[in-house]
Amino acid sequence: MTWRAIVLTLFPDMFPGPLGLSLAGKALAESKWALETIDIRDFTTDKHRSVDDTPAGGGAGMVMRADVAGAAIDAARKCATPGTPTFYLSPRGRPLTQERARALAEGPGVVLLCGRFEGVDERVLEARDVEEISIGDYVLSGGELAAMVLLDAVIRLLPGVAGNEVSLEDESFASGLLEYPHYTRPREWAGRAIPDVLLSGDHKAIETWRREQAEAITAARRPDLYQRHRKDKP
């Protein structure tokens, strides 16, 4: 079964965008995953194809209508594999993590609702049991770029997409730590040399050095992750 992404958007021409290049693009061409976009405007009912209206209670901006968004979600679910989760890209959502990306890669795919304006009518999120998910503590113009980030994070974990799947095990967050530093030739550059231990051929010493570096970087840059790592250690 091919992992499948269905994206609900007002700008279907934005896709595949960067997802059509590099690892994700090659995997898409090889049918290791599939992408379908659905134009939310196709579910409007007026001659102006209006998808939004003024917010109840007043305020700035516009809100995507529940009837339009709901119809688009229903159409997407009809052609999605049973059990496919539906997400609304939103800064209000639970943060996307490497663990969640890996779990999604093991499933059938995703349906992604890309918002615009001030957001989507809350009723459609409740009525259609849509989970909100965030890629970070900041606000974008719409959900399309966030959808691409989520998809890229998941697609690279699909079987056969990464050239060296073993390398995925050492990446940041895979072990609960940030990744250790990497070096390559030349041996010296700009007055800086590759650490001697990496050229020693002593694999145990290299592994220890990398672990120590990962812990030091995590403690300095992400103390929250480091504390969790320390708590989880036996």
Phi and psi at 84, nearest 5°, equal -75, 125
Would you state the pLDDT for residue 176?
87
Instruction: Return d(Cα 211, Cα 179) in angstroms, integer.
Output: 9
- Interior angle at CA 184, CA 214 and CA 205, nearest 5: 45
Residue 47 near residue 41 (C-beta atoms within 8 A): no
Fold of domain 171-232: Trp Operon Repressor; Chain A (1.10.1270)
Would you state the pLDDT for residue 173?
74
pLDDT at 167 > cutoff 60: no
| 0.85 exceeded by pTM | yes
153: its two tokens: 């994070």
Q: What is the pLDDT of residues 111-147, one digit of tens each?
A: 999 999 899 999 999 999 999 999 999 999 999 999 9
Which is higher by pLDDT, 231 or 223?
223
Would you state the pLDDT for residue 192?
97
- CATH architecture of the domain 3-155 equals 3-Layer(aba) Sandwich (3.40)
Would you state the pLDDT for residue 224?
94
Domains 3-155 and 171-232 share a fold: no
CA-based nearest residue to 81, from 12, 159, 152, 5: 5
160-176 mean pLDDT: 71
Q: What is the pLDDT of residues 37-95, one digit of tens each?
A: 999 999 999 999 999 999 999 999 999 999 999 999 999 999 999 999 999 999 999 99
Would you state the pLDDT for residue 112?
99
In sequence order, what DSSP letters do the residues of 109-128 get, joined into one string? EEEEE---TT-B-HHHHHHT
The domains of the chain are located at 3-155, 171-232
Integer CA distances (angstroms), 228 to 10, 97, 224, in order:
40, 14, 6
176-187 mean pLDDT: 95
Residue 93 near residue 137 (C-beta atoms within 8 A): no
Please provide the average confidence, as pLDDT, over all residues in the chain.
95
